[in-house]
Amino acid sequence: MKITVDGKVLEVEEGISVLEACLQNGIFIPNLCFLKERERPHASCRLCFVQVEGMPTPTTSCTLPVKDGMVIHTNTPEVRRLQKTAFKLIMSGHPCHAKTCPVGKNCTLMKIAKFLGVGLGPKPYERLDREMPDLIDFGFMYYSPYRCVLCAKCIHVCKTQNGKPLLTFARRGFETIVAFFQDPLENTEEKCINCRACTNICPTGALVLKDTENVEREDEAQTA
Amino acid sequence: MKRYQEIKSEALKRLEQERADNAPIIRITMSTCARAAGAEETRKAIEEVLEERGLTAKIVNVGCLGHCYAEPLLIIDNPAVGFPPICYYEVTPNKAKLICRSYFEDGDPSFEYVLGAMEENDLIPPVTTFPRFSMEQRIVMEHCGLIDPWNIDHYLEKDGYASLASILEMQPDEVVEIIDRSGLRGRGGAGFPTGKKWRFARLQENTKRVVICNADEGDPGAYMDRTIIESNPHQLLEGLAICAYAVGADEAIIYVRAEYPLAVQTIRHAIKQAEEYGILGENILGSDFSLHVTVFQGSGAFVCGEETALIQSVEGKRGMPQHRPPYPVEKGLWGRPTVVNNVKTLASVPPIIRKGADWFRSIGTEGSPGTAIFSIVGNVKHAGLVEIAMGTTLRTLIFDICGGIPNKKKFKAVQIGGPSGGCLPEDFLDTPIDFDSLTKAGAMMGSGGMVVMDEDSCMVDVARYFLEFTQKESCGKCTFCRIGTKHLLNILDRITKGEGKEEDLEILQQLAEDIKKGSLCGLGKTAPNPVLTSLKYFMDEYIAHVKEKRCPALKCRALIAYYIDLEKCARGCEVCVGSCPVEAIFTAKGRKKAIDQELCVKCGECMAVCPPEYDAVFKVSPPELAPIVERPPDQQPKKASGEK
């Protein structure tokens, strides 16, 4: 099956999404919530827009199955406008504290900002605040609602790798957070510390085990 | 068909026996809207007066007639005395007693309380002389308010379930064909062709198919689905069964919101009755077709009206929309092909089967055949439920059928399609009501909520109100809806408080456009519509708020001030003083009153109580226009002086 992306003809396998096809072929499309193994794309971050010739408006590429002969543009002004708006909206609820952030230089958001050629601030939108603590204590790990972009990767891996989902969404709308549920009859802590699927997959450092260096520092700073 | 004829003739026999004594029948509307207007008290009063006076009459609860401005309604039918059935309006308990006494004891039908006769006659003008009755065209609501929704016999008497009986002798594909030819479009808002949806479902390989009736009505000011379920649940069940037969489903779910307790009770009772009669359940009407109908109560999230979120919620998951495709007809509830249809869509089906696709096509427009049901609320004289042929103009609907704007006010805008729709100004009054024309104008058909606004409504405030609703109802899944609508709301909040900046208007426009294009589901895609349409048609109001800090409609509290005209104020009159909750009114020179602007909370009470012969309180915007009257030192409010 052949598709054309930005003038380049790619040979791709059937049944995959345009986003996957592009990433496989070294064409970067900004994304936060895409997980290959998911049966149905979560499609919540709204960053992976592309323009398909013959379609009236840009479409999210994670939800778009490849079709033979598809002609795709990843960088039209309209695509970029939507991506930049989505990114700035995310950043308006995600104050960047690069120095103390546990992801450090590995930050997906920084990579996307650089790719889109925008800063890490939310302008022209204002910063949005929620009445929530900076860190929520999940027992042996911390969750930061401000760092979290609600990509739901952690929820997915927790469910598929443990068979028993311990993470889920709580609250609604702008107040949505990831919550943690513990089985009181099981030694969840030990299991979780050995698993670490959620903390490993989190693209923004919103979930971190307490034993990581950075968090300890933050922890000390908070208690001090 | 034979089994159906038997069931029907048994029902008719029962009704005949019931009516053998020829006793007068008092029908009283007992839907949620009528109960809110006091119908339960009225019924009690009628029972009392009948008992007291030893009168014999049967009281029958009926659903909503759609004339909510006149609730509670009473229809007295007493063929023995030669009166036609008479409809009475706004029947309070005392009025009910009065009417019953004079009607039954003195043979006087109390003309002063009569809305009209329900039939042509020589004595009393029939209701059909009013445009609110005669200009409506009822297909779905034909029997609403006239039959007892709790008694299946009443529906059978009106040829109910005859359509179901007739299609059981057809091939399912023939049924789909009829619906397809009728051009029926989904009445839930988007207007997807129903026949096409059913056909898709039939084409699926998986034969474990499901039908879901979407009655998760949530738009502010919309209550069509509730009324239909409460007033004629069997027409819905018949449509549902026909749909299930056509698409090959043996399971159906009615998804009603839990906030509609009466509708839930009514539909549950109707299902039970239909099962007892062999009209639902195993081997319907003696055929091979079986259908199990269950009721599922939604838990209050507006977004669960979106079909994929609705399905998630039935599966016990968090009600969050999923990306489509796959559409529910391909992979829906528990992965099975699922047809999700709105209440009005399904209730339109039995009349189409009975009278044919061509008949249905003869009503309405080419692109949108049939009728539209609106719940018209707001600044309109005859509010309530209206069923009209598609293609009727907004002007006809608002001014001719619903009596126009009350209190001699001017029409300003109409909001169609609830929080997902748009505000249309006067220039659009001649727009025909159909799916395509309304979408072209920037509004949408929606599920049928319509709010009429007069000149006192501030369009910025209206946009803010709807945004507040959608923002609160966002499920929180996708970026544009979760965060974008929050920004829109914050900006609108700022503007209505007079803190808007000029660049805000540009941000508002751009962001609203992006949210519309970028959101995952219908809620997010349509949430900016009130903002976009009000920006388009009422830009001058936004500019007045932002640049002049003025609210032209004198609505936004932060931008208005009340003052008392000393020329008009009457010496010694104290009415306003007592009405003020914050002691902002004091006595100025000449024993006249004035308002302390620092203390005033702008509740408008003083304006409401100022006697009409003086009419001395005025409202202005911007607030600086109010003349400042110094408060003399001896006139300080008690609280303030106490604190000092």
If you measure CA to CA, which chain B residue comes closest to A56?
B517
3-state secondary structure of A4: strand
- pLDDT given for residue B635 in this prediction: 78
Name the percent of chain B lying above pLDDT 90.
89
Name the percent of chain B lying above pLDDT 70.
99
What is the C-alpha to C-alpha distance for residues A22 and A32, in angstroms, rounded to an integer? 15
How many C-alpha atoms does B206 have within 13 Å on its Cβ side?
Answer: 15
What is the C-alpha to C-alpha distance for residues A72 and A3, in angstroms, rounded to an integer? 8
Which residues in chain A have their CB less than 8 angstroms from residue B480's CB? Answer: 46, 85-86, 89
Query: Does an H or E element contain A19, and which?
Result: helix A18-24
Pick the CATH number of A2-88 from 3.90.1150.10, 3.10.20.740, 3.30.565.10, 3.30.360.10: 3.10.20.740
Locate B192 and state its tokens: 């997807």
Angle at which helices B224-231 and B233-247 cross, to 10°: 100
| Cβ separation B517–A82 shorter than 8 A | yes
What is the C-alpha to C-alpha distance for residues A1 and A18, in angstroms, rounded to an integer? 12
Number of Cβ atoms within 10 Å of the Cβ of B609: 14
What is the C-alpha to C-alpha distance for residues A4 and B153, in angstroms, rounded to an integer? 65
Average pLDDT, chain B: 94
Q: Considering only CB atoms, which residues of chain A are within 8 Å of chain B? A: 40-47, 49, 57-58, 60, 63, 81-82, 85-86, 89-90, 92-93, 124-126, 128, 149-150, 168-169, 171-176
User: Domains in chain B and their CATH numbers?
Assistant: 14-130 (3.40.30.10), 160-358 (3.40.50.11540), 371-457 (3.10.20.600), 460-547 (1.20.1440.230), 560-643 (3.30.70.20)
What is the C-alpha to C-alpha distance for residues B564 and B559, in angstroms, rounded to an integer? 17
| Helix residue ranges, H only, B127-223 | 131-134, 152-157, 162-167, 172-182, 194-203
Task: Render each residue's pLDDT in chain A as its tens digit; 224 residues.
Answer: 999 999 999 999 999 999 999 999 999 999 999 999 898 999 999 999 999 999 999 999 999 999 999 999 999 999 999 999 999 999 999 999 888 888 888 899 999 999 999 999 999 999 999 889 999 998 889 999 999 999 999 999 999 987 778 999 999 999 999 999 887 888 788 888 888 899 999 999 999 988 754 544 454 445 44
What is the C-alpha to C-alpha distance for residues B555 and B201, in angstroms, rounded to an integer? 50
- Across the interface, of A85, A168, A172, the residue whose CB is closest to B518 is A85
What is the 3-state secondary structure of B79-119? HHHCCCCEEECCCCHHHHHHHHHHHHCCCCCCHHHEEEECC
| Cβ separation A90–B479 shorter than 8 A | yes
- pLDDT given for residue A223 in this prediction: 47
Q: pLDDT tens-digit profile of B592-639?
A: 999 999 999 999 999 999 999 999 999 999 999 999 998 888 878 775
- pLDDT given for residue B503 in this prediction: 95
- Across the interface, of A63, A86, A128, the residue whose CB is closest to B479 is A86
The DSSP annotation for B449-496 comes to EEEEEETT--HHHHHHHHHHHHHHH--S-SHIIIIIHHHHHHHHHHHH
How many C-alpha atoms does B616 have within 13 Å on its Cβ side?
Answer: 20
Average the pLDDT over B44-72 and give the result.
94
The DSSP annotation for B550-599 comes to --TTS--GGG-EEEE-TTTSPTT--HHHHH-TT--EEE-GGG-EEE-TTT
- Across the interface, of A82, A125, A128, the residue whose CB is closest to B518 is A82
What is the C-alpha to C-alpha distance for residues B553 and B621, in angstroms, rounded to an integer? 9
Residue of B320, B334, B479, B487 to mutate for A, most A C-beta atoms under 10 A: B479
What is the C-alpha to C-alpha distance for residues B402 and B334, in angstroms, rounded to an integer? 45
What is the C-alpha to C-alpha distance for residues B228 and B26, in angstroms, rounded to an integer? 21
The DSSP annotation for B135-158 comes to T---SSSTTTTTS-TT-HHHHHHT
- pLDDT given for residue B643 in this prediction: 45
Amino acid present at B608: A
The bridge status of strand B58-62 relative to strand B25-29 is parallel
- pLDDT given for residue B639 in this prediction: 59
Name which of B496, B521, B302, B531 is nearest B422 in CA terms: B531
What fold does the segment set A130-224 form as a domain?
Answer: Alpha-Beta Plaits (3.30.70)
What is the C-alpha to C-alpha distance for residues B556 and B541, in angstroms, rounded to an integer? 11
| Cβ separation A43–B478 shorter than 8 A | yes
| Cβ separation B482–A60 shorter than 8 A | no
- Across the interface, of A57, A168, A174, the residue whose CB is closest to B486 is A174
Which residues in chain A have their CB less than 8 angstroms from residue B475's CB? Answer: 172-173, 176
Phi, psi of B252 (to 5 degrees): -135, 145
Could you give the strand order of the β-sheet that contains B449-454, starting from the edge strand earlier in sequence? B384-389, B371-378, B449-454, B411-416, B422-425
- Across the interface, of A46, A171, A176, the residue whose CB is closest to B518 is A46
Residue B533's Cβ-count burial label (10 Å; 0-12, 13-18, 19+) is: buried
Average the pLDDT over B519-543 and give the result.
95
The residues near B42 (Cβ < 8 Å, ≥ 6 apart) are B28, B72, B74, B91, B92, B93, B95, B96
Question: DSSP class of residue A9?
Answer: E
- pLDDT given for residue A212 in this prediction: 56
Q: Are B248 and B172 in contact (CB under 8 A)?
A: yes
**CA dist list (Å): A70 to A9, A15, A18, A47, A63:** 10, 13, 9, 20, 14
The shortest C-alpha distance from A211 to chain B (Å) reads 30
The residues near A111 (Cβ < 8 Å, ≥ 6 apart) are none
Angle at which helices B459-473 and B529-537 cross, to 10°: 170
If you measure CA to CA, which chain A residue comes closest to B519?
A46
Average the pLDDT over B65-83 and give the result.
92
Cα B509 vs. chain centroid, distance in angstroms?
Answer: 29
Pinpoint the residues of chain A covered by CATH 3.30.70.20.
Answer: 130-224
| Cβ separation B479–A89 shorter than 8 A | yes
Number of DSSP helices (H) and strands (E) in chain A, helices first = 7, 10
- pLDDT given for residue B637 in this prediction: 77
| Cβ separation B483–A92 shorter than 8 A | yes
Question: DSSP class of residue B320?
Answer: -
Name which of B559, B558, B560, B512 is nearest B535 in CA terms: B512
How many C-alpha atoms does B457 have within 13 Å on its Cβ side?
Answer: 23
Q: Are B131 and B114 in contact (CB under 8 A)?
A: no
The DSSP annotation for A72-111 comes to EES--HHHHHHHHHHHHHHHHTS---TTT-TTGGG-HHHH
Pinpoint the residues of chain A covered by CATH 3.10.20.740.
Answer: 2-88
Which residues in chain B have their CB less than 8 angstroms from residue A92's CB? Answer: 483, 487
**CA dist list (Å): B514 to A82, B478, B521, B539:** 6, 13, 14, 19
Average the pLDDT over B302-312 and give the result.
95
Q: pLDDT tens-digit profile of B145-163?
A: 999 999 999 999 999 999 9
Residue A190's Cβ-count burial label (10 Å; 0-12, 13-18, 19+) is: exposed
- pLDDT given for residue B642 in this prediction: 45
Which residues in chain A have their CB less than 8 angstroms from residue B488's CB? Answer: none
What is the C-alpha to C-alpha distance for residues B565 and B562, in angstroms, rounded to an integer? 10
Q: pLDDT tens-digit profile of B366-410?
A: 999 999 999 999 999 999 999 999 999 999 999 999 999 999 999
Amino acid present at B70: A
Locate B575 and state its tokens: 């009415």
**CA dist list (Å): B48 to A109, B51, B59, B78, B522:** 73, 5, 12, 19, 51
- pLDDT given for residue A21 in this prediction: 97
What is the C-alpha to C-alpha distance for residues B189 and B307, in angstroms, rounded to an integer? 12
| Cβ separation A46–B471 shorter than 8 A | no
Name which of B448, B261, B437, B229 is nearest B346 in CA terms: B229
- pLDDT given for residue B144 in this prediction: 95
